[in-house]
Structure 1
Amino acid sequence: MVYFLLVVFGLLSFTSSQISHQYHFINIRKNWTEAQRFCREMYTDLASVNNEDEMNRLFITITDNSYDVYAGLYRGEVFRWHWTLPDSVYNEKTFQNWEKNQPDKNNNEGCAAMDNNGKWFSDSCDTQRQFVCFNATKTYILIEKNKSWREAQEFCRTFHTDLVNVRTSSENQDVKNTAKKDVWIGLFKDPWLWSDQRNSSFRFWNSSQLSNNRRDRDCVTVMVNQTGQWNDVECNTTQPFICHGDLKSQSTTKPATTDTEGGHRSTQPTQILTTGAEQATTDTEGGHRSTQPTQILTTGAEQDNLILVRENLTWTEAVTYCRKHHVDLVSIHSEELQNRAARKAIQASTSHVWLGLRYTCRFNFWFWIKNREAGCYQNWAPGHGPHGYEECGLSGAMESTGGHRWVGRPESERLNFICQICTNAF
């Protein structure tokens, strides 16, 4: 769940230090640079990953497997050495035990091994040799099978903890005594960097892509059909992406623009359904998306301040979209505004549409996110709202048909939604 920085009647306040690493799947196709800009504006940055647990949490946020998904890793210009564990720093101040003239600074051989004298040397990661794993109790295990460096790492991560990381002279001696021959250790060299400048050495490459050194593929995607393994792609490819961090409070009004194919901006909605004398393009059959990723419906000559977005997003993604392109998810404080929102909802392709209504389980009440107030006007369905069924993780939605009453829905559901736009009416 995403926790907002809220001040409701002066009672509620959260700080980012209380929030663990949060991932957010953004189901809008952008190139890598546009995705990075979006994440930095709306959250913290494109996603970085420190370990397998975080990788698993990132992967399960992906709810649409139509496209691979951008993460925050990109190719830099300088090759750097890394230990495989995120808490094992490699630099000029840490323990090193290279052979003479090693590592060769003019050679980008990417993996390190230890010889029978305990000295380190760099070699091609594809070389087949034995290796040393370690487990949680820092026990060293010699694996007497010849494998490439990455095959060795996968074996160690599957059956133990990882390839051995050597941080002190004492550890180096213990590994030497365990191996007594040339073995892989958990030190590798690559040019990849994280967008948020995090010093994470975690890598999860798809093995079929490891030999690909094309310099036009400088960005990384999570492969949705390969259990989250990574692939390098051209950065101008348009794909969904993963952000991390808290959703930022958006105080500035966003212009009523949409994303078009290729991630470019347009000052007009992608598709508009109008009523009245002036005709415009109609929606595709069955509410499905056309070649452009966002469909927006409005009435009249856009004289009111509401707009229906026929994109199936979670509640948090809907908040992100409205704040990015318009003002916010709609807040309803009067019968007149309720009626206008209901006229939009009729045209939705989902049974309900998201509203800017949120439940806080900490203080046990519903509030509108735009002004942080509970509001006086209400149109709750029986069994919902302040006197109905409530639990953490609920957000407010309106029925698309019938009485257009409000209900609490799990915020992970994917629904159409209504944004408020900036007009002279406000």
Structure 2
Amino acid sequence: MVFFFLVLFGFLSFTSSQMSHQYHFINIRKNWTEAQRFCRENYTDLATVNNAVEMNSLFKTISDVSYDVYIGLYRSEVFRWHWSLPDGYNVETFQNWKDKQPDINNNEGCAVMDNNGKWFNDSCDSQRQFICFDATANQKYILIEVNKSWREAQEHCRTFHTDLANARDASENRNVKNTLKNKDVWIGLFKDAWSWSDQSNSSFRFWNSSQLSNIRRDQDCVSVMVNQTGKWKDVQCNTTQPFICFSELKSQSTTKPATPAATTTENRPAQNTTDGGNTSSQPTQILTTGPEQDNLILVHENLTWTEAVSYCRKHHVDLVSIHSEELQNRVARRAIHASTSHVWLGVRYTCTFIFWFWIENREAGCYQNWASGHGPRGYEECRLSGAMESTGGHRWVGRPESERLNFICYTCADIK
């Protein structure tokens, strides 16, 4: 059964160096949100899958069980373009759309290349010829002169070659254009609203064929179907089932056993509780030990917003989200000890839907404390994230997410 993955995805050798996750099967039934919290507290996060090699490794951990398990993929509010070839390429690095393309009203499109090498989006169910990419062959680009839907074309290319052809820079775009024989063909660019719990940009998808026509929008979380050789399906997030966590391979020597015993405190990662407990290799963390704030940690390390998210999720639970005045006051009392003028919060701006949202629960919050000219009624632009003033009124402001600031994590105790 494991060999199935190695045959289905002809690029095993092409992606073997991309194995970065170690997976842990947790045989406890939880809903998706509870499973996410468990994984963040005890490992790194709910499982992310970057490529076929990692999917093969994940499936090994559950091949002896007979029920479906959660992974970290969920339906978000933001639709994004991805390259089919799962190598982490940034879609924004190179684009070659036709005028007035892509159609922003088409939220679930797939990309077509015309005979001029320009792109346009179309329904993924349309029937078209397509171009495959083969990383191991002398002829890297192969025109398949059979009409298929985009998903069918992707599966064909992954079965017999490497993947649908990507056009991630001008050189690749020319290579695809020179192969298409004046036809409009599918390329490996698709748009969806599925995101990973750890906020990585993995474009790897392994849907069961029945999912291609599933139009329900109340099933926002993803399960691996053990009886379908590991294919994925969407389910309601309040379903309770076992799940898969992951940890980074670089921490393999200290990885905790993947058993229910991981819920005990002695199996959780050690956390510094005072400045005096800090070591030279760790950022300074300030954790109040009183009952009021024993789950808020100020980290005296200047990181970008994305780096701060990763740090909090690796060492604690997440960047702090603020949904009440009481929590605002608690976070403010942490912020006054920061060494930067602002501290990162777990709120970010989406250009696609033009609103601010808290990353912990992936929705906009009701309680707000924005400074004048910031937030929903202020100046907004792409790649803004939210920060709190360290002094003064402790208002929230939008800052470029590349800026380096202290930040506040929260840990295991519930935030109310």
TM-score band, normalised by the shorter chain? Answer: 0.5 to 0.7
In the alignment, what sits opposite 1:60? Answer: 60
In the alignment, what sits opposite 2:413? Answer: none
Contact 1:109 1:122 in 2 (8 A): no
2:108 corresponds to 1:166: no
In the alignment, what sits opposite 1:228? Answer: 230
In the alignment, what sits opposite 2:261? Answer: 319
2:85 corresponds to 1:85: yes
AA at the equivalent of 1:117: N
SS in 1 for 2:120: strand
After the TM superposition, which residues 149-160 of structure 1 pair with which residues of structure 2 at under 5 Å, given as runs? 149-160=150-161
TM-score normalised over the length of structure 2 = 0.55
AA at the equivalent of 2:190: F
AA at the equivalent of 1:160: H
Contact 2:63 2:226 in 1 (8 A): no
CA–CA separation in structure 2 for the residues paired with 1:320 and 1:178: 53
The alpha carbon displacement at 1:90 in A equals 3.6
SS in 1 for 2:126: coil
Give unpaired runs (5+ residues) of structure 2. 1-18, 269-416
CA–CA separation in structure 2 for the residues paired with 1:139 and 1:238: 45
In the alignment, what sits opposite 1:23? Answer: 23
Residues 163-200 of structure 1, C-alpha deviation per residue, up to 9 Å, x if partnerless?
A: 00101222212211211211100000000100011110
After the TM superposition, which residues 252-267 of structure 1 pair with which residues of structure 2 at under 5 Å, given as runs? none
SS in 2 for 1:178: coil
SS in 2 for 1:127: coil
The alpha carbon displacement at 1:91 in A equals 3.9
Residues 118-176 of structure 1, C-alpha deviation per residue, up to 9 Å, x if partnerless?
A: 11110111111110001115710001111110111111111100000101222212211
CA–CA separation in structure 1 for the residues paired with 2:173 and 2:38: 45
CA–CA separation in structure 2 for the residues paired with 1:167 and 1:202: 16
Change (3 A) 1:57 1:124: same
CA–CA separation in structure 1 for the residues paired with 2:226 and 2:121: 33
User: Structure 1 residue aligned with 2:205, among 203, 206, 220?
Assistant: 203
CA–CA separation in structure 2 for the residues paired with 1:116 and 1:39: 48
Contact 2:29 2:242 in 1 (8 A): yes
2:104 corresponds to 1:105: yes
**Alignment RMSD, CA only?**
2.4
AA at the equivalent of 1:171: E
In the alignment, what sits opposite 1:70? Answer: 70
SS in 2 for 1:215: coil
Residues 2-24 of structure 1, C-alpha deviation per residue, up to 9 Å, x if partnerless?
A: xxxxxxxxxxxxxxxxx941100
Q: Which has the higher helix share?
A: 2
SS in 1 for 2:213: coil
Change (3 A) 1:63 1:186: closer
Contact 2:26 2:260 in 1 (8 A): no
The alpha carbon displacement at 1:231 in A equals 0.3
Contact 1:65 1:225 in 2 (8 A): no
Contact 1:86 1:199 in 2 (8 A): no
The alignment of Structure 1 onto Structure 2 pairs a total of residues equal to 244
Q: Identity of counterpart residues, as a percentage?
A: 73
Give unpaired runs (5+ residues) of structure 1. 1-18, 251-313, 327-426
Bigger CA radius of gyration: 1
The alpha carbon displacement at 1:66 in A equals 3.3
Residues 3-49 of structure 1, C-alpha deviation per residue, up to 9 Å, x if partnerless?
A: xxxxxxxxxxxxxxxx9411000111100000000000110000000
User: Structure 2 residue aligned with 1:182, among 181, 184, 188?
Assistant: 184
Contact 2:97 2:118 in 1 (8 A): yes
CA–CA separation in structure 2 for the residues paired with 1:158 and 1:214: 28
The alpha carbon displacement at 1:319 in A equals 3.5
In the alignment, what sits opposite 2:214? Answer: 212
Contact 1:43 1:247 in 2 (8 A): no
Residues 338-391 of structure 1, C-alpha deviation per residue, up to 9 Å, x if partnerless?
A: xxxxxxxxxxxxxxxxxxxxxxxxxxxxxxxxxxxxxxxxxxxxxxxxxxxxxx
